[in-house]
Amino acid sequence: MYDLAIIGGGPAGYSAAFEAIKFKKKVILFEASEIGGTCLNSGCIPTKYLNHVSEELSFLKKADVYGISVNDVVFDYLKSWNYMQDKIFQLKEGLILGLKSGNIDIVYGKALIIDNTTIACNELEYIATNILICTGSKPKKPFRNDENVVTSDGLLKIKKVPESLLVLGGGVVAVEFANIFAELGSQVTICIRGDRILRGWDKEIVVGLTQQLKKRGIKILNKCSQDEMSMRQADVILSALGREPDLDIESARRLKLQTDEGIAVDDNGMTSIPNVYAAGDVISKSSQLAHVAMYQGERAVQAMLSDDKSVKIPVVTKCIYVGMEVASVGYTLEESKMAGINTISAKQVMGSNARTLILDGDRGFIKVIADADNDILVGAHLMCERAGDMISELSLAVNEKTRIDELIRNVKPHPSFCEEITGALKMLKTKM
């Protein structure tokens, strides 16, 4: 008899497991494939690895300006791919070790929920007081059947750089892979149905990033018809048309769970059945972000195992890694105005930032959006070096409603990338 059975060992599942052992609870974790989920095995981690490799290669091409002569740069993708597997293995081993040292039982196999306390796996039945479903998501099925069409999972299994890569879709996954393989030597074309890539992102980031990708030789074809997306050819065709919840239909049916595009849950992650929770990409309207899944896993455990049912849903950050980084939190300019906020914004460019200049960084900026009536930040959108790290300070400020004056008083190191945040905030103050 377990206090908690978790189905799925990705970011939501393992974070929930670690949280549950803080409550001294007996936990069992079912994993149908690999611990770490999409994030570690076929998502965030391998793409960040490949992004790093593409950055290193890109640096070698321009190293001469720094007086570094590099002759005969030879890139061996297979060797690099194998090293990527080593990195994934190391992270996975660390995770498994952590789970085991927390006395969490791990069972590999597909779990079927029999009823709200019983789970079957590998022909055995397990009983648990609470169940947390964290089965994640999977790439949407491609609409083309050509044998060279792959999803992101498939592309990461190919052990060579394709000569040409056609990317169908313009979301984060599409953009990151397009950038990686363009930098590694592929001729890359992105086909999108709409006007622009990255729907839902700050317009200035979308336009700015489009220009950067074009400069790197990536063709972006917009307003593509279904025919055009179906006919265009390349060595490898990446179908990156979004992801969908990876839901076990039979388990959902047995529990009579509401499953409109994912499991319907309340703010604590509770389903329509009081002792059954869900977290991460499998829930309805998921953000499909690993860090959100981790938060949701922990929150679900806190709600089910403690008396604290209060919930404060944070504004979360989202990032894109394309050599330089893009990071975003809170309202865009348009959203802020739509919300009826007395909106002001300021943009600090990175062109004269010493650290950016030293590494010959691409055009970048830090844009901050504020509620002028209350002197607080409501959004921040960064496109520059280390944006993914720098956004945390601004995310904290948005969530905690820190006054802009207080943020400015936080003296930054010099020379640093982050000192430009202060520049942007000071510019905001001049507009108040």
Partner 1 sequence: MTSMYSDKHIQILVEKGIAVLNLSEYALKELKTIVFVNLPDVGDRVETGSTFGDIESIKTVSDLISPINGKVEEVNEELLDAPELLTAENWIIKVSQFELNENEFMSEEQYKKYVEKCDV
**In contact, 115 and 273? CB cutoff 8 Å:** no
Binding status of residue 204 toward partner 1 by CB under 8 A: yes
Q: Find the shortest distance in angstroms from Cβ 206 to partner 1.
A: 11
Binding status of residue 365 toward partner 1 by CB under 8 A: yes
Q: Find the shortest distance in angstroms from Cβ 352 to partner 1.
A: 4
Nearer residue to partner 1 within complex by CB, 134 or 387: 387
Interface stretch with partner 1, choices 31-39, 118-126, 208-216, 412-420 (CB under 8 A): 208-216
Q: Find the shortest distance in angstroms from Cβ 50 to partner 1.
A: 27
Nearer residue to partner 1 within complex by CB, 8 or 208: 208
Q: Helix or strand or coil: residue 180?
A: helix
Q: Find the shortest distance in angstroms from Cβ 143 to partner 1.
A: 29
Nearer residue to partner 1 within complex by CB, 8 or 361: 361
Single residue of 349, 372, 396, 408 touching partner 1 by CB under 8 A: 349
Q: Find the shortest distance in angstroms from Cβ 345 to partner 1.
A: 9
Phi, psi of 179 (to 5 degrees): -65, -45
Backbone conformation region of residue 268, classed left if phi is above 0, alpha if psi is from -120 to 50, else beta? alpha
Binding status of residue 363 toward partner 1 by CB under 8 A: yes
Single residue of 211, 225, 374, 410 touching partner 1 by CB under 8 A: 211
In 3D space, the residue among 167, 164, 162 whose CA is nearest the CA of residue 177 turns out to be 167
User: Would you list the DSSP string of 328-392?
Assistant: EEE--HHHHHHTT--EEEEEEESTT-HHHHHTTPPS-EEEEEEETTTTEEEEEEEEETTHHHHHH
Q: How many residues does the chain have?
A: 432
Q: Find the shortest distance in angstroms from Cβ 397 to partner 1.
A: 21
Nearer residue to partner 1 within complex by CB, 169 or 208: 208
**In contact, 200 and 328? CB cutoff 8 Å:** no
Binding status of residue 138 toward partner 1 by CB under 8 A: no
Single residue of 208, 262, 280, 323 touching partner 1 by CB under 8 A: 208
Continuous segment of H or E residues that includes residue 424? helix 419-430
Nearer residue to partner 1 within complex by CB, 106 or 349: 349
Binding status of residue 200 toward partner 1 by CB under 8 A: no
Single residue of 160, 214, 223, 253 touching partner 1 by CB under 8 A: 214
Single residue of 194, 200, 217, 351 touching partner 1 by CB under 8 A: 351
Interface stretch with partner 1, choices 98-106, 120-128, 140-148, 203-211 (CB under 8 A): 203-211
Q: Find the shortest distance in angstroms from Cβ 109 to partner 1.
A: 52
> How many residues touch partner 1 (CB under 8 A)?
14
**In contact, 119 and 111? CB cutoff 8 Å:** yes
Binding status of residue 207 toward partner 1 by CB under 8 A: yes
Please tell me the distance from the alpha carbon of residue 403 to that of residue 417, in angstroms, as a whole number: 22
Binding status of residue 332 toward partner 1 by CB under 8 A: no
Q: Which residues pair with 376 in a beta bridge?
A: 371, 403
Binding status of residue 221 toward partner 1 by CB under 8 A: no
Q: Helix or strand or coil: residue 100?
A: helix
Continuous segment of H or E residues that includes residue 67? none
Nearer residue to partner 1 within complex by CB, 134 or 213: 213
The DSSP 8-state label assigned to residue 401 in this structure reads T
User: Would you list the DSSP string of 250-313?
Assistant: HHHHHHT---TTSB---TTSB-SSTTEEE-GGGBTT----HHHHHHHHHHHHHHHHSS-----P
Question: Residues in the site for partner 1, rule: CB under 8 A?
Answer: 203-204, 207-208, 210-211, 214, 347-349, 351-352, 363, 365
